Amino acid sequence: MNVEFVNDMPESRPTTDPLSTASAVPYPALTRAARELFRSIDAMDVAAVLEMFAEDCALRFANQERVLGRSGVRQVIEALFSGIRALNHSITGLWSGTWERGAVVSVESEVTYTGLDGVRLEPLPATSTLRIERGLIQDFRVFMDPSPLFPTET
């Protein structure tokens, strides 16, 4: 699978103020690529997810430390996938805009996790910000409270 984040936003839009280019109506190619990313995540397909990232990318998942490079992203994704049986993103909103090096896509979702024990958690709200450069994810930030995934014993 070769999915590329194509910035199909009109070039005539001003780029000096990133907020002026934000849109509540995402552009089709960016929307398709974002949806494909989350389909690959939900399929727990590490290889398909990684091919959407730039070699020198960054990822920050919730309150975890930021990781750099595809190898760091691989470690985070594999660690997450090894601790769950399944996950499903129900996308509730998609927005696009720009940053100084390309397009930005913001994805709001409700994420349902199934633990290794088969217990399905209530959906957790999450917002993901994808900064795109040259058709690949350069920076991926996931904003959510993952504590229900990792309950502490009392």
Give tens-digit pLDDT for 65-95.
999 999 999 999 999 999 999 999 999 999 9
- pTM of the complete model: 0.81
Q: What string of H, E and C letters represents the secondary structure of 28-74? A: HHHHHHHHHHHHHHHCCCHHHHHCCEEEEEEEEECCCCCEEHHHHHH
| Domain count across the chain | 1
Position 109 in a domain: yes
Residue 88 structural domain: 21-144
- 50: CATH: 3.10.450.50
Give tens-digit pLDDT for 115-154.
999 999 999 999 999 999 999 999 999 999 988 887 765 5
Position 3 in a domain: no
Strand partners for 60? 141
Position 15 in a domain: no
